[in-house]
Amino acid sequence: LYLVPAAGGAPRPVGGPAVIAGAAPSPDGNRILVTRVHRPYSVIRSWERFPEDVEVWDLGGRVQATLSRRPLAEQVPIHGVTTGPRDHQWVPTEPATLTWAEALDGGDPRAKADHRDRIMLQVLGEAPVELARTISRFTSLDWLETGDQALLNDNDEDLHWARTWLLGRKGGTPRLLWDMSSDETYKDPGNPVWKVLPNGQYAIGVQGGTILLRGLGASPEGDRPFLDRLDLSTLRPERLFRCGREGYETIVNVLDPVSGKFLTSRESPKDYPNLWIRTLGRREKKAPAGEAAFASTPRPFTSLVNPVPELAAIQQRLVTYKRADGVDLSFTLYLPPNAKPGTPLPTIIWAYPVDFASAATASQVGGSDKRFTWISGSSPVFLALQGYAVLYATMPVVGDPANAYDTFLEQLELNAKAAIDKAVELGVTDPARVGVTGHSHGALMTANFMARSQLFRAGVARSGAYNHSIRPFGFQNERRTMWQARDTYLKISPLWNADLISKPLLLIHGENDQNPGTVPYQSEKLYEALRGLGATARLVMLPGENHGYTSREAVEQVLWETVTWFDRYVKNATPVK
């Protein structure tokens, strides 16, 4: 560690060299919270499990306090946490006060316990005290700038349930603020607006006994971002701003909570994003439910010009529909600039499976068709410029998190068929020319479609995991081990079902993929199997690329490979007899 004088001068070392995983200065600027990783290392565990010491140093590097000494975390339960103190952080409004969490259930989410964690607080030099206990697993403690209260958050991964409590600095009984499914987006209250304190720390801003909340504002008509004011006495919110229906406008920052001035970013499918300044005005007499209680006047702040006019010509639309079992679904449809109504096009579906505990939360609409069409990296939206209809489709897997993956393949087929049927009904899709692509968990989906579904002509799977037997202690959100759910592990592993893959499959993978679930040989072994079985397959390994692709060369290669593959096996495919 080094201290670098802001006014210039030579950097000064703090302590000796070490493997430092984290360093945070105290609010009074006189100490540093340091997390050091040390030996013995492990060749079978990632570095986050290595032995670590959490210490408080002075600015000379001398240890003032040792908060935690954790040995190698060898046996951590699936979806569990380590035992002992964890998640240390400074209280931003006090000179040198720390908080942390400790598991009360041995870190095991399956163990019976009235409370999962306890939250500890310690003023340096004094004995630690227990501040609160959480029913579910602790996730965060966010302090208000007044220093007398904090928002305490916990989450139950198995039930997909989250709670937020308003907690006093001196402990006591916390007040329940939100208690809801973590999958619920329509009722999402938003996230607190933070501010920088004079000491450089971050805390939730407070103005007249209220805090501000901003969120995406998911709704059946798409995302409509909002800004709310929450009264800390009544715990009731008041809506200050909500994006209109004609475009997409989101809160960038609150400039002055007293005068009601805030910065937004506005865009539409035809209008490039620009910054605007809004100022709250008069209170609306009869604002409809969910709409802003105040008028606000926008004023342009930037005048950026669209650097890619071709993208503004892409047609965009949010479409809702149902799958056969009644679950509501949606996709964002992108059409080529010259697409003619009633002319079916070759179509590509891009999706990523997401698990939900209930059909109600799985049915929620996400995203917005009011946003500017933008291509980032190797986005499949690029295919809309190549004559394809592109569907960004929701792909929910609904059921008890304990066994939802038992029906993974069946639900994928329901989702895909519903999307294709709807696109055919709209007159935009030729059902005989449909391809599918996905990344990571979406690649697993794609490979399984090539093995099990008759809906698609070809697929492009990027950076996927295709053999779950080599990660037998859980994958994605699967809680069970392979020995507890052997049939499910093998059923949804494309490598174990490679003999069923009869459709052309392009496999793309970063050569240096660091994601432990999607190591490069996942693609290499599936390709070897397909090649040995005589299937139509191609493997592209991207030099130097990680789980995502960032270099210009890799992005261009992925786009070229994808377009070439789909042109050959989808757009210009031999007609189905």
**CA gap 441, 466 in Å, rounded:** 9
Contact 120, 128 (CB under 8 A): yes
CA distances to 6, 351, 376 from 550, rounded to whole Å, are 33, 20, 10
Number of H helices, E strands in the chain: 7, 34
> Is residue 440 annotated as a catalytic residue, yes or no?
yes
Residue 108 CA, chain-centre distance (Å), reads 24
> Is residue 513 annotated as a catalytic residue, yes or no?
yes
Per-residue burial over 200-215, b if 16 or more Cβ lie within 10 Å, else e, is: ebebbbbeeebbbbbb
Tokens 């690649």 belong to residue? 443
Cα–Cα–Cα angle for 300, 240, 206, rounded to 5 degrees: 105
Which H/E stretch holds residue 321?
strand 315-322
Please pick, among 268, 296, 440, 463, the residue that the annotation labels catalytic: 440
Contact 350, 380 (CB under 8 A): yes
Please pick, among 182, 271, 421, 547, the residue that the annotation labels catalytic: 547
Beta-carbon-side half-sphere exposure of residue 99 (alpha carbons within 13 Å): 23
- Find the distance separating the first CA and the last CA of the chain, reported in whole Å: 69
Which H/E stretch holds residue 554?
helix 552-566
Contact 189, 214 (CB under 8 A): no
Cα–Cα–Cα angle for 386, 389, 391, rounded to 5 degrees: 125
Cα radius of gyration (the chain): 26
**CA gap 513, 508 in Å, rounded:** 11
Helix axis angle for 408-425 and 441-452, nearest 10°, is 80
CA distances to 34, 309, 313, 390, 440 from 437, rounded to whole Å, are 43, 26, 23, 10, 10
Which H/E stretch holds residue 23?
strand 19-25
Tell me which residue of 493, 485, 481 sits closest to 448, measured CA to CA.
Answer: 493
DSSP letter at 298 equals E
Which residues on neighbouring strands pair with residue 150, listed in sequence order?
Answer: 143, 167
**CA gap 222, 314 in Å, rounded:** 19
Structure tokens at 483: 């020995």
Q: Where are the beta strands (DSSP E) in 420-529?
A: 429-439, 458-462, 505-510
Please state the length of the chain: 577
Please give the positions annotated as active site: 440, 513, 547
